[in-house]
Structure 1
Amino acid sequence: MAKKPSIPKGTRDFSPIEVARRNYIIQTIKKHFEIYGFQPIETPSFENSETLMGKYGDEGDRLIFKILNSGDFISKVDDVTYSSKNSSSLLPKISEKALRYDLTVPFARYVVMHQNELDFPFKRYQIQPVWRADRPQKGRFREFYQCDADVVGSNSLLQEVELVQLYDAVFTDLKLEGSIIKLNNRKILSGIAEVIGAKHLLVDFTVALDKLDKIGEEKVKGEMQAKGISEVAIAKAAPLFAMSGSSLEQLAKLKLLLTESEIGMHGVSELEEIIHTVEEIGLKTANLQVDVTLARGLNYYTGAIFEVSAPEGVHMGSIGGGGRYDDLTGIFGLKDVSGIGISFGLDRIYLVLEELGLFPERLDQSIDVLCINFGEKEGLASLKLVGKLREKGIKAEVYPTSTKMQKQMKYANNRKVPYVVLIGEQELSNQEFVVKNMDTGQQETYSLNKPEAFVLSLRA
C-alpha cells in the first residue's frame, strides 16, 4: 500500500476559497501601495548565503534555510573539517545559497546592484514568499508571504508619518478597525542601554526586551542576566517595564531617564515629531501608541520602529511591523543611504479577518452562473450563451455532462453559485433561457439573442 503523502511542517496547501481570500488581502494591500506611489519589484527566492548571513543577528541566522550545493558536495569537504562535526566550519563548504529570510535585505542588495538605474528616493513594494526555519505555531509558518513597502534615499520623518497612514488606510479598507500601531525608536533603546551601563550589550538587551509581551517581565530579566547584563543595570531599566500613560506622557518620562544620553534624546525628539504630525493629519480608524518596550530583534533597525496589533479582543501576534534602517545598503558597499520600510503579515491578517468574519461573502462564489446541461443541442446553446456572458466579464460555465438534474443542482449548491441557467427543449425552441436565483428560488426568463438584460440585472 502506497504511503499517504504529506507536506513539511510549517507549510500549507490552500483551497480555492483560501486562495480567493488571500488574494483579496493582497489586492487590497497592493492597491494602497500603488496609491501611495510605491513601485513593484521582485527578487529571487534564494540568495547567495553571504548576502543573508550576519544581517539578522544570531537568532535570525539560525532560522535561515540553507540550500545544499548540487552534486556530490560531501566529497569536496576535507577530512579534518568533516571529522570535526562542527557545523559552522562545515556549512560554507557544502552550502553557498539560502532561501530568503525576509524581503528587506534582498531589497538592499537590489538597490546597490541597480543604484544607477533608480531615481531616489526610491519607493518600492514587494509581495513574495519568504522562509524561516522556525517552530510552527498558530500564525507562524516556515513558508509565508511578506507584503513590504520601503523607501530608500530619504531621511525625512515624513516617510514615517506616511507609513503610519498607509497602515491605517489598508486596515480601514479591510474593515479591521481599531488596529493598534505601536511606535518606538532604536535610538531610545540605545540611549537606555547607555545610561544603565549596558551599551556593549545593546543587541542582547533589545532581543530580550522585545519578548516582554510574550514571556513576561521576570523571564525577560532572567534572560538579560543570562546574557551578562548586571542586576544593577536591569534595576535602572525597571521604569521601562511599567511605563504607562499617553504617548506624549511616556515620552516625557523617557526624557527624565535619558537626560544624559544624546542619542536617546534624539530618539525621543523624532517620536515627538512623528506623533505631533500624525495627530495634526489624523487617522481613520487605527490607534497610534508609543511602546517603549518595543524593540524588534532585527539588528539593522536604527530609528523609528513599528509593530501593528489586531484590535483588542483578538489573540494574535503582530500583523505588521517595520522600521528605519539608516545604513542597510552600507553592508553591500553603498554608504549613507537611509531607508525605512514596513511589512504586512498576510497569514496573520487572514486569521484575524477569519476570526472576526470580515471576509466579503462574494469571495465564496467562484462563478456567477452555472448552465444546467440537458443534452447535446441544449448544451451547445448553453455554451454559446456562456461565451457571451464571459465577454461581459461574468464568470460562467456549463456543466460538462447531461447527468441527473439533482446532481447538477447539488454541484451548484456546493460551489455556492448564485444563479443557475436552464435551457431545455422548450426554451431552445423559444430562443429563451430561464435564470433561477438560488437564494430566493425566483425565476426570470430572458432572450437568448439579447442576454444583455440578464447582465444588467446582475450588475444592478
Structure 2
Amino acid sequence: MAQKPSVPKGTRDFSPVEVAKRSYIVDTIKEQFKLFGFQPIETPSFENSDTLMGKYGEEGDRLIFKILNSGDYLKKVDDALYTSKDSTKMISKISEKALRYDLTVPFARYVVQHQNEIDFPFKRYQIQPVWRADRPQKGRFREFYQCDADVVGSSSLWQEIDFIQLYDKVFTKLKLEGVTIKINNRKILSGIAEVIGASDKLIDFTVALDKLDKIGEDGVKKEMLQKGIDQDAIDKVKPLFNFTGTTTEKIAKLKELLSSSEEGAKGVQELEFIIQAMDQVALETANLDLDVTLARGLNYYTGAIFEVSAPENVKMGSIGGGGRYDDLTGIFGLKNVSGVGISFGLDRIYLVLEELGLFPETVALSTKALFINFGDQEALYCFKAVQALRNQGVVAELYPDSAKMKKQMGYANKRNIPFVILAGTSEIENETFTVKNMELGTQTEINFDELKVLLQ
C-alpha cells in the first residue's frame, strides 16, 4: 500500500476557507499600505548566499535554508575538507544560494541594485513568503508570509510616528482591540551596555535581554553569564528587569541611567520625540508602551525598534515588529541611506482573529447562487442565467451533473451557498426561477430581473 503523502514540518496546505480568511487580512493590510503612500515590489524567493549570510546574527544565519548547487554539488569539495566533515567550511563550496529569511535584506539589495531608478525617499510594501529553519510550534512556521512596509532615504523620526499610526489603522480595520505596540531604541541598549562595561558583548547582551518575557529574569542572567558578561555588569543592569512607571517616568529614569553615554542619551532623545508626538495624535485601537527590554535580535537595527503584542487574553508571540536600520544598505555598498520599516505577521494575526472570532461571516462566502441541474435542457436555461449574472458581478454556478436533488442541495449546504435556484419545465415555460433561501428555508418564484436584484 502506498504511503500517505504529507507536507514538510512547519509548512501547511490552506483550504478555500482559510485562503479566503488570509486574503481578508492581506487585503486589509494592503489597503492601508496604499493609503499611507507605499508602492509594491517583489523580489525572488531565493538570493545569493552572500546577500543573506551575516545580516541576522549567529542565530539568524543558523536558521537560513541553504540550497544545494545544481548538478554535482560536491565537485568543489576536496578530499581533506570532505573527510573533516566540517559543514561550516563546506557550505560555501556546496551552496551558493539560499531561501530568503525575511523581506528587509532583499529589499536593501533591491535598493542598491536599482538606486538609479528610485526616487528617494522610497516607500515600498512587499507581501511574500519567507523561510526559516526554525523548530515548528504554535504560531511559528518554517514557511510563512511577511507583510512589510519600509521607507529608505529619510532619517526623519516622523517616519517612525507614521508607522505607529499604520499599525494602529490596520488593527482597527481588523477590529483587533487591545494590541500593544512596544517601542525601544537600539542606541539605548548600546548605551546601557556601555554604562555597565559590556560594550564588547552588545549582541549577546541584547539577544539575552530580548528573551526576558520568555525565560524570566533568572534565565536572562544565566544566559548573560554563559555569554561571558560578568556578574558585576549583570548587577548594574538589574533595574531593567522591573522597569515600571509611566512613559514620562521611564524616560526620566533612562536619562539618569544613561547620563554618561552619548549614544544612549541620543537614543533617549529620539524616543522622547516620538512619544511626545504620539501624545498629540491619539491611537484608535492600539496601546503604545516603552519597553526597555525590547531588543529584537537582529544586527541591522540602529535606532527605534518596534514589536506588536496580541491582546493579553490570547497566548501568542509578537504579531508584528520592525525598526530603523541606518547601516543596512551600506553592507551592499550604498552609504548614508537611512531606512525604517515594519512587518505584519500574517500567520499569527490569522490565529489571533480565529481564536477571538473576529473574521466577518461573509469572508468565507464565495458562490452566492447555485443552479440545480435537472438535465441538459434545464441546464442550458440555467447556464444562460449564470452567464448573465456573472456579467453583473454575481458569483453563480451551475451544478455540473444532473445528480439526485438531495446530493445537489447537500453540496450547496456544505459550501454555505445562501441561495439555490431551481428551474424545471414550468419555470422555463414561464421564464421564471424558483429561489430557495437556504438560511430561512423559504422558496419564491421570480423572473430574471427580480433575481438580479435579489442577488446583487
* Residues in 1 aligned to 2:184 and 2:444: alpha-carbon distance in whole angstroms: 60
The SS at the match of 2:55 is coil
* Residues in 2 aligned to 1:282 and 1:155: alpha-carbon distance in whole angstroms: 23
1:412-456 deviation per Cα after TM superposition (whole angstroms, max 9, x unaligned): 0000000111111111111000111111112222213x3xx3232
The SS at the match of 2:101 is coil
Report the TM-score, using the length of structure 1 for normalisation. Answer: 0.98
The SS at the match of 2:74 is helix
The match for 1:405 is: 405
* Residues in 2 aligned to 1:227 and 1:258: alpha-carbon distance in whole angstroms: 23
Query: Which amino acid letter does the alignment assign opposite residue 173 of structure 1?
Result: K
1:259 partnered with 2:276: no
User: Deviation at 1:7?
Assistant: 1.0
Query: Which amino acid letter does the alignment assign opposite residue 391 of structure 1?
Result: N
Query: Which amino acid letter does the alignment assign opposite residue 261 of structure 2?
Result: S
The match for 1:454 is: 451
1:153-179 deviation per Cα after TM superposition (whole angstroms, max 9, x unaligned): 000000000000000000000000121
1:105-120 to 2 correspondence within 5 Å? 105-120=105-120
* Residues in 2 aligned to 1:257 and 1:213: alpha-carbon distance in whole angstroms: 22
Query: Which amino acid letter does the alignment assign opposite residue 406 of structure 1?
Result: K
The match for 2:427 is: 427
Q: Which moved more, 1:358-367 or 1:183-192?
A: 358-367
Contact 1:139 1:347 in 2 (8 A): yes
User: Deviation at 1:457?
Assistant: 2.7
* Residues in 2 aligned to 1:40 and 1:69: alpha-carbon distance in whole angstroms: 31
The SS at the match of 2:321 is strand
Contact 1:126 1:147 in 2 (8 A): yes
The SS at the match of 2:316 is coil
* Residues in 2 aligned to 1:95 and 1:50: alpha-carbon distance in whole angstroms: 10
The match for 1:71 is: 71
User: Deviation at 1:89?
Assistant: 1.1
1:348 partnered with 2:384: no
The match for 2:158 is: 158
The match for 2:24 is: 24
The SS at the match of 1:289 is strand
* Residues in 2 aligned to 1:340 and 1:60: alpha-carbon distance in whole angstroms: 20
* Residues in 1 aligned to 2:284 and 2:192: alpha-carbon distance in whole angstroms: 33
The match for 1:52 is: 52
Query: Which amino acid letter does the alignment assign opposite residue 291 of structure 2?
Result: D
The match for 2:188 is: 188
User: Deviation at 1:119?
Assistant: 0.3
User: Deviation at 1:365?
Assistant: 1.7
* Residues in 2 aligned to 1:246 and 1:315: alpha-carbon distance in whole angstroms: 25
The SS at the match of 1:456 is helix
* Residues in 1 aligned to 2:94 and 2:401: alpha-carbon distance in whole angstroms: 55
Contact 1:186 1:295 in 2 (8 A): yes
Which residues of structure 2 form unaligned runs of 5+? none
The match for 1:7 is: 7
1:143-201 deviation per Cα after TM superposition (whole angstroms, max 9, x unaligned): 00000000000000000000000000000000001210000000000000000000110
Q: Which moved more, 1:435-444 or 1:383-392?
A: 435-444
Contact 1:246 1:289 in 2 (8 A): no
Structure 1 moving runs of 4+ over 4 Å: none
Contact 1:422 1:433 in 2 (8 A): yes
* Residues in 2 aligned to 1:265 and 1:183: alpha-carbon distance in whole angstroms: 16
1:290-309 to 2 correspondence within 5 Å? 290-309=290-309
* Residues in 2 aligned to 1:249 and 1:429: alpha-carbon distance in whole angstroms: 81
User: Deviation at 1:307?
Assistant: 0.2
Contact 1:180 1:289 in 2 (8 A): yes
The SS at the match of 1:51 is helix
Query: Which amino acid letter does the alignment assign opposite residue 134 of structure 2?
Result: D
* Residues in 1 aligned to 2:452 and 2:255: alpha-carbon distance in whole angstroms: 64
User: Deviation at 1:247?
Assistant: 1.7
* Residues in 1 aligned to 2:73 and 2:324: alpha-carbon distance in whole angstroms: 40
1:266-297 deviation per Cα after TM superposition (whole angstroms, max 9, x unaligned): 11111111111111011111101100100000
* Residues in 2 aligned to 1:190 and 1:227: alpha-carbon distance in whole angstroms: 17
The SS at the match of 1:170 is helix
1:27-65 deviation per Cα after TM superposition (whole angstroms, max 9, x unaligned): 100000000000000000000000000000000000000
Contact 1:100 1:130 in 2 (8 A): yes
Query: Which amino acid letter does the alignment assign opposite residue 42 of structure 2?
Result: E
The SS at the match of 1:420 is strand
The match for 1:96 is: 96
The SS at the match of 2:433 is strand
User: Deviation at 1:401?
Assistant: 1.1
The match for 1:367 is: 367
The SS at the match of 1:429 is helix
User: Deviation at 1:384?
Assistant: 0.5
1:167 partnered with 2:161: no
The SS at the match of 1:381 is helix
How large is the RMSD of aligned CA atoms in angstroms?
0.8
Query: Which amino acid letter does the alignment assign opposite residue 288 of structure 2?
Result: L
Report the TM-score, using the length of structure 2 for normalisation. Answer: 0.99
Number of matched pairs: 456
The match for 1:220 is: 220
* Residues in 2 aligned to 1:429 and 1:457: alpha-carbon distance in whole angstroms: 21
The match for 1:318 is: 318
The match for 2:378 is: 378
The SS at the match of 2:412 is helix
* Residues in 2 aligned to 1:375 and 1:70: alpha-carbon distance in whole angstroms: 55
Query: Which amino acid letter does the alignment assign opposite residue 210 of structure 1?
Result: D
* Residues in 2 aligned to 1:230 and 1:249: alpha-carbon distance in whole angstroms: 29
Query: Which amino acid letter does the alignment assign opposite residue 235 of structure 2?
Result: A
Q: Which moved more, 1:401-410 or 1:105-114?
A: 401-410
The SS at the match of 1:205 is helix
Query: Which amino acid letter does the alignment assign opposite residue 27 of structure 1?
Result: D
Query: Which amino acid letter does the alignment assign opposite residue 58 of structure 2?
Result: D
Query: Which amino acid letter does the alignment assign opposite residue 176 of structure 1?
Result: L
* Residues in 2 aligned to 1:338 and 1:364: alpha-carbon distance in whole angstroms: 41
1:202-234 deviation per Cα after TM superposition (whole angstroms, max 9, x unaligned): 000000001110111101100000001010000
* Residues in 2 aligned to 1:425 and 1:252: alpha-carbon distance in whole angstroms: 83
